[in-house]
Structure 1
């Protein structure tokens, strides 16, 4: 992904050019195609560009429009044709070949901050409105693209790269005990507004942020629709509608000459591969598709390669097999380039990183079958509410029984609302509640005690 950074001095103090350039240069590994910065008094932006679409071949960032609006972004927009039609209807002159960041700028110029309601895709961006002396930032609906921010006094700083913010001299390395505790207990931070560092916050998915001399305002612009039902006349119509949506989603990501796909031979990745092959064949200039499959050749019985090979042969997609037999758990864990600013629990991080690095030499867009069901994780209760409102009691009992059989403890970690900015004591209380009381559970008890000692209570 491309990398960006921005510094705003809310008191009007000038930006230190050397510092901004230092932070921008740090992002060079994010974007090897171009690296530029821009300063106007108390606002400074830096960007490292990775081109992944045909429209981005002539893109430059930070980009400007009408001398009033400036943008830095890591964005890939869906439904471009629809957005362009709406912009033209709003009397904006927009080229069909405009880059995604240009479309976001045009949308902001046309509709202001509500422009985010018309955007679809994977994006995190910031627009500087020089007329109103205001920054408008947004993160996509599902949080595919990261966005981190920090405020220390009158300095507001943000980036899509956590380690970039940590390099600013005003940002300390003090840890957020609640986030660390969440990771040790559950494998992830349950508060999506925080990071593992106390001074650095995370903009949650489907949220926007406005910053000016008056302060910061964060608000949600979208919520996953869980009310109502989608009903068609027949099972065939459900399949046709799903296929149409899947084709559009794949087509929106096939805007480049070469793409890869992590092909397991299973239902999800094979479906994506089949649709990608079909959509690519309808293009005037077809994208070349190549598959990559992780396999075990001798360590354990594994037919993943056989299934992936069958799919590849049927679709006419060449496949490169990546043998995992020699991979070691937590291999090279102490290497600097593999270090993550926040904890990761993937024991095969080294071999996966090596594979992605090799794949990146052949293509810059990589499909997978991951994430197909993530939206519905922990979303049983809206469905239960719908069945209750409709009085479908027999189906409700059956569905809840099946759900509890699969997930015996569905309330763990989701019934307690996330704290805004928990301190050590708040994090201790939350962990205690989720575990059902520290006195009754030995699991994680040492974390509760350590957090309490750190808070001197």
Structure 2
């Protein structure tokens, strides 16, 4: 895990060193195992390293092997053995001991920008060529690692570490209206290219930047919706075996430390990741006791006990499990948590994960999740029409027949019609809360929100196209939280993503291929467990219990102007004070408002100037 920041000066009179000193000092609060710098007349690169892998001891950056081309980045590569093999075939002297970031530099010197078709993993990086005065940057396929950039008075600024940018003068002066609307209406930033500040931008996932002689070019290097060539004549067992190999390799690529944590919910996704992590540890270290598992539930509103299943899995794998009651951890808005966050995405003091994260940090710097499992396998009925184009009628009909035999129902076809589109557009996927002033609501914005709400976040293609995922990764990155914890997501593997697109739908429904692959790794009661909603609870009850409603009533009158100008205070007070109105309210939007208010009260620009 690395934090980096760089600046290409607008002229030869470099004059922003003190600003970058402050940026690097901010990075060092988290990434302090090594600090590095490269400065020349046109560029200043700063770097901080947080060691998370036992097999890497010398990820020294900015790195160069010829004092001409330099790299700084936050890089973790998948299947690096294959990349090394390809480079060795080109005569490049690299071996398995080389750090991932250094390997990317050698790949760039081998294929230049064409290297992107050989890279996979979690990364954002910047490569500077002193001789040609050119900059090349890229962000990974799914946006697992952020990349921010801006044109400032000093020159072109870039970083993966959001928190450090608060020290850049005037960068956080103005708020972007459409992103502010996102936070008020749905509690997150739905833009893949804009931050909440008008002057600061994000590089979207699967995009690259080329900066040559002051000319900036941004382009996409990969599209997650492209078709894959089907694998012919694979049996069901062969599909399962190949899937298992890919998932096991994905977990192994991410588990390169003896001390690792896993979120273990008791469902198939996180359970599979935890089981393969335990297997990896036993093979590598002779024991899985360096692995810790965590889960949390709501004390009084659980429909099906996740704790029950997670305990069975932990005992089966021989690993310790720590269980948390979210009721006891969440909702401390009233305590005015004094932790600064770049955007109003919530606070560690206001979410259940906060207490879990602080505890996890005492044991490891890596946490693996099961995120991505649901969209990877979910709702596959809708792709039959594209299967006909991809595989032909005969093979698709065979797959359709297998689906009916296995799942005892006829799959739905995804046939778009004008009638269906009109029905979809009319469905109230998205609406503003009643306490938002009408002059803040833009009709074109609402239309865009309705269209986005209807897009396939829960489908495999949504993993590469829906803004929910990169936003989730951005706010969990150490550069946002300031915490020494790197989250890794094995289901967000390029190899796994591309393989799933050629798997017959009857093997994806109900995660059949995952269940079949994990028969030898997990208890039968877990493998055969049907997916259910983890909770059925009253969000109103939890809002009252957390003190959030009282926090809003008490603090809204002292809110900053950018909040007070949006809120109809009488309407808000009426909704959160009237029990009947509160039952009909969208409580997620109330929670979002509390996050914005907490962020605004703490003064989001307090150290910007």
Shorter chain as denominator, the TM-score bin is: 0.7 to 0.9
Q: Distance in 2 between matches of 1:135 and 1:76?
A: 21
Q: Distance in 1 between matches of 2:379 and 2:182?
A: 17
TM superposition shift of 1:300: 5.2
Q: Distance in 2 between matches of 1:214 and 1:383?
A: 47
Q: Per the alignment, do residues 110 and 233 of structure 1 end up closer, same or farther by CA in structure 2, a change over 3 Å counting?
A: closer
Q: Which residues of 2 match residues 43-54 of structure 1 at below 5 A?
A: 43-54=43-54
Deviations 1:142-187 (A, max 9, x none): 0000111001356100111223223212524201101111333334
1:274 paired to 2:286: no
Q: Distance in 2 between matches of 1:112 and 1:413?
A: 48
TM superposition shift of 1:44: 0.4
Q: Is the 8 A contact 2:9 2:154 kept in 1?
A: yes
Q: Is the 8 A contact 1:148 1:158 kept in 2?
A: yes
Q: Is the 8 A contact 1:328 1:348 kept in 2?
A: yes
Q: Per the alignment, do residues 72 and 237 of structure 1 end up closer, same or farther by CA in structure 2, a change over 3 Å counting?
A: same
1:398 paired to 2:412: yes
Corresponding residue number in structure 2 for 1:373: 374
Q: 1:322 aligns with which of 321, 324, 332?
A: 324
Q: 2:305 aligns with which of 303, 306, 324?
A: 303
TM superposition shift of 1:229: 6.2
Q: Is the 8 A contact 2:294 2:356 kept in 1?
A: no
Q: Distance in 1 between matches of 2:12 and 2:376?
A: 42
Q: Is the 8 A contact 2:125 2:138 kept in 1?
A: yes
TM-score by length of 1: 0.82
TM superposition shift of 1:102: 0.9
Q: Is the 8 A contact 1:75 1:122 kept in 2?
A: yes
Q: Distance in 2 between matches of 1:400 and 1:237?
A: 28
Q: Distance in 2 between matches of 1:336 and 1:52?
A: 27
Corresponding residue number in structure 1 for 2:212: 212
Q: Distance in 2 between matches of 1:57 and 1:412?
A: 55
Q: Which residues of 2 match residues 236-251 of structure 1 at below 5 A?
A: 236-251=237-252
TM superposition shift of 1:343: 2.8
Q: 1:292 aligns with which of 288, 291, 294?
A: 294
Q: Per the alignment, do residues 52 and 435 of structure 1 end up closer, same or farther by CA in structure 2, a change over 3 Å counting?
A: closer
Corresponding residue number in structure 2 for 1:138: 138
1:433 paired to 2:435: no
Q: Distance in 2 between matches of 1:347 and 1:95?
A: 41
Q: Per the alignment, do residues 233 and 410 of structure 1 end up closer, same or farther by CA in structure 2, a change over 3 Å counting?
A: farther
Corresponding residue number in structure 1 for 2:365: 364
RMSD: 3.6
- Greater Cα shift, 278-287 or 246-255: 278-287
Q: Is the 8 A contact 1:330 1:347 kept in 2?
A: no
Q: Distance in 1 between matches of 2:140 and 2:61?
A: 19
Instruction: Kindly indicate which of the two structures has a greater share of residues assigned to helix.
Output: 2
TM superposition shift of 1:96: 1.7
Q: Distance in 2 between matches of 1:149 and 1:134?
A: 16
TM superposition shift of 1:134: 0.9
Q: Which runs of 5+ in 2 are unaligned?
A: 401-409, 430-438, 452-562, 568-609
- Greater Cα shift, 154-163 or 137-146: 154-163
Q: Which residues of 2 match residues 379-394 of structure 1 at below 5 A?
A: 384-387=385-388
SS in 1 for 2:329: coil
SS in 2 for 1:71: strand
Q: Per the alignment, do residues 413 and 6 of structure 1 end up closer, same or farther by CA in structure 2, a change over 3 Å counting?
A: farther
Corresponding residue number in structure 1 for 2:189: 189
Corresponding residue number in structure 2 for 1:419: none
SS in 1 for 2:237: helix
Q: Which residues of 2 match residues 336-375 of structure 1 at below 5 A?
A: 336-337=338-339, 339-344=340-345, 349-374=350-375
SS in 2 for 1:45: strand
- Greater Cα shift, 87-96 or 328-337: 328-337
1:21 paired to 2:29: no
SS in 2 for 1:399: coil
TM superposition shift of 1:332: 5.6
1:256 paired to 2:257: yes
How many pairs were matched up? 426
Deviations 1:284-329 (A, max 9, x none): 6666211112134567566222211110111111112223232342
Q: Is the 8 A contact 1:10 1:213 kept in 2?
A: no
TM superposition shift of 1:66: 1.3
TM superposition shift of 1:333: 7.0
Corresponding residue number in structure 2 for 1:444: none
Q: Distance in 1 between matches of 2:281 and 2:174?
A: 49
Q: Is the 8 A contact 1:136 1:210 kept in 2?
A: yes
Q: Is the 8 A contact 1:178 1:428 kept in 2?
A: no
